[in-house]
């Protein structure tokens, strides 16, 4: 019988606790730049929509209301350049992390099946494969170099967490064609797509990328970052109707329902672009200040053209960098949390208040 430790990796964030204690002891208090959790207010129109739907005594549906499906389909067409999105091409999920962690299991993958994801990646891709007892492999810059034998699920992540790297339209087009050629299901994690700074992120659902067909491809999107709704668990997937239809049936049996108030809030959030522009402006200012301060302090920034992070290095062990910054009262995430290839980098989040970011900049300067 396998134990939990056999099935899951160690939870990496526990290793940060001593450094968090050091940072907290700083006379000016801790500046926590280690996690990507939003700190700014939920937009007022979203709060109002949630409140208006709060008297919801009945069970919500897994597929969501018709209004929600309309909102998701319309947003995909308007924002992603997708064409012909119907209700059969969309499905709400209870936050994107839940989807990532349980997708291989819900797809029926198991021993002998292979899941692939970037070598620098959000740890939950590996967790999902391990929960299903499937095999997993990582890839570098080019997923089409993978051995397609037994490869059943290919994860893309653009913009990347942790590096902020953005895949070009040409790279996406080539990968979609390769996955279709080899019968590999492609899921593209695009949760940071609306947060491009030095590059314009593109979806796999873009008509020029997918050729106007959603066959074999699904995009994953979240409102956690664009609308500060991490606490609402508001996310959705869009793409291949056959894949989503099967997932809908499985999720019905599993009771994986987005709450009715959250569904109403999602409709409001997807229908409004103004609050997204306001939030982007906040992040641009924080990013500029932190980037300049880090470079001035001797860091080199790689990629980071999008997302909510700066991928920074002093060309030393990531844990030496974590320790150095903790002495300044600044907590960051070590790069090896995201794979061995990140062992000389740290991930610096933009998700702190203006006051805390200014404090970090002063300390770095």
What is the structure's pLDDT at 84? 94
| Segment 88-120, tens digit of pLDDT | 999 999 999 999 999 999 999 999 999 999 999
Q: Are strands 300-302 and 90-93 parallel, antiparallel or unpaired?
A: unpaired
Closest CA to 310 of 329, 297, 323: 297
| Segment 310-355, tens digit of pLDDT | 999 999 999 999 999 999 999 999 999 999 999 999 999 999 999 9
What is the structure's pLDDT at 285? 97
Q: In whole angstroms, how far apart are CA 207 and each of 175, 214, 263, 290?
A: 14, 9, 27, 36
What is the structure's pLDDT at 4? 61
Domain shared by 21 and 144, yes or no: no
Domain shared by 26 and 84, yes or no: no
Strands (E), 200-329: 217-222, 235-239, 300-302, 309-313
Last residue within a domain, chosen from 270, 286, 321: 270
Classify burial at 142, counting beta carbons within 10 Å of its beta carbon; exposed 0-12, middle 13-18, buried 19 or more. Answer: exposed
The answer to whether 186 and 179 have CB atoms below 8 angstroms apart is yes
Q: What is the CATH number of the domain that holds 157?
A: 3.40.640.10
Domain shared by 37 and 80, yes or no: no
DSSP 88-119: GGEEEES-HHHHHHHHHHHTT--TT-EEEEES
- Characterize 155-168 residue by residue with b for buried, 16 or more Cβ atoms within 10 angstroms of its Cβ, and e for exposed: bbbbbbbbbbbbbe
Domain shared by 359 and 221, yes or no: no
Q: Return mean pLDDT, the chain.
A: 96
Beta-carbon contacts of 79 under 8 Å, excluding residues fewer than 6 positions away, are 193, 194
Last residue within a domain, chosen from 220, 244, 270: 270
Domain shared by 299 and 227, yes or no: no
The number of distinct structural domains making up the chain is 2
Domain shared by 228 and 160, yes or no: yes
What is the structure's pLDDT at 8? 74
Domain shared by 23 and 125, yes or no: no
Domain shared by 73 and 163, yes or no: yes
pTM of the model: 0.95
What is the structure's pLDDT at 1? 54
Domain shared by 144 and 17, yes or no: no
Half-sphere exposure in the Cβ direction for 3 (13 Å, CA): 4
Q: What is the CATH number of the domain that holds 359?
A: 3.90.1150.10
Domain shared by 335 and 255, yes or no: no
Domain shared by 33 and 181, yes or no: no
Predicted confidence pLDDT, tens digits, the chain (365 residues): 566 666 777 777 789 999 999 999 999 999 999 999 999 999 999 999 999 999 999 999 999 999 999 999 999 999 999 999 999 999 999 999 999 999 999 999 999 999 999 999 999 999 999 999 999 999 999 999 999 999 999 999 999 999 999 999 999 999 999 999 999 999 999 999 999 999 999 999 999 999 999 999 999 999 999 999 999 999 999 999 999 999 999 999 999 999 999 999 999 999 999 999 999 999 999 999 999 999 999 999 999 999 999 999 999 999 999 999 999 999 999 999 999 999 999 999 999 999 999 999 999 99
The answer to whether 206 and 83 have CB atoms below 8 angstroms apart is no
Instruction: Give me the domain span that covers residue 320.
Output: 4-41+275-364
Last residue within a domain, chosen from 251, 270, 289: 270
What is the structure's pLDDT at 12? 74
Domain shared by 61 and 209, yes or no: yes
What is the structure's pLDDT at 11? 74
What is the structure's pLDDT at 172? 98
What is the structure's pLDDT at 236? 98
């Amino acid at each position: 019988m396998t134990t939990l430790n056999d099935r899951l990796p160690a939870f990496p964030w526990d290793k940060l606790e001593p450094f968090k204690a050091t940072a907290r002891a700083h006379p000016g208090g801790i500046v926590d730049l280690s996690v990507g959790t939003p700190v700014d207010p939920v937009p007022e129109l979203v709060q109002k929509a949630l409140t208006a739907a709060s008297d919801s005594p009945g069970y919500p549906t897994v597929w969501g209301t018709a209004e929600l499906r309309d909102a998701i389909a319309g947003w995909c067409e308007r924002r992603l350049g997708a064409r012909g999105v119907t209700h059969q091409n969309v499905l709400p999920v209870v936050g994107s992390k839940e989807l990532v962690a349980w997708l291989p299991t819900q797809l029926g993958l198991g021993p002998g099946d292979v899941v692939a994801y970037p070598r620098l990646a959000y740890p939950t891709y590996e967790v999902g494969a391990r929960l299903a007892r499937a095999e997993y492999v990582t890839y570098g810059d080019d997923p089409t170099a993978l051995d397609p034998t037994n490869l059943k699920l290919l994860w893309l992540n653009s913009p990347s967490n942790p590096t902020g790297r953005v895949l070009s339209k040409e790279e996406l087009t080539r990968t979609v064609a390769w996955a279709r050629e080899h019968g590999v299901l492609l899921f593209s994690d695009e949760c940071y797509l609306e947060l491009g700074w030095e590059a314009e992120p593109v979806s796999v659902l873009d008509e020029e990328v997918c050729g106007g067909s959603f066959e074999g491809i699904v995009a994953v999107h979240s409102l956690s970052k664009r609308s500060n709704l991490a606490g609402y668990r508001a996310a959705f997937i869009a793409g291949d109707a056959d894949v989503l239809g099967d997932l809908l049936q499985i999720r019905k049996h599993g009771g994986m329902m987005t709450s009715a108030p959250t569904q109403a809030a999602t409709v409001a959030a997807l229908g409004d672009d103004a609050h997204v522009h306001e939030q982007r402006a906040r992040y641009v200012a924080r990013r500029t200040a932190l980037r300049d301060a880090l470079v001035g302090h001797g860091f080199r920034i790689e990629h980071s053209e999008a997302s909510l992070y700066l991928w920074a290095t002093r060309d030393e062990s990531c844990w030496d960098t974590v320790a150095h910054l903790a002495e300044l009262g600044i907590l960051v995430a070590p790069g090896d949390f995201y794979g061995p290839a990140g062992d000389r980098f740290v991930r610096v989040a933009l998700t702190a208040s203006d006051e805390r970011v200014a404090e970090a900049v002063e300390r770095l300067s």
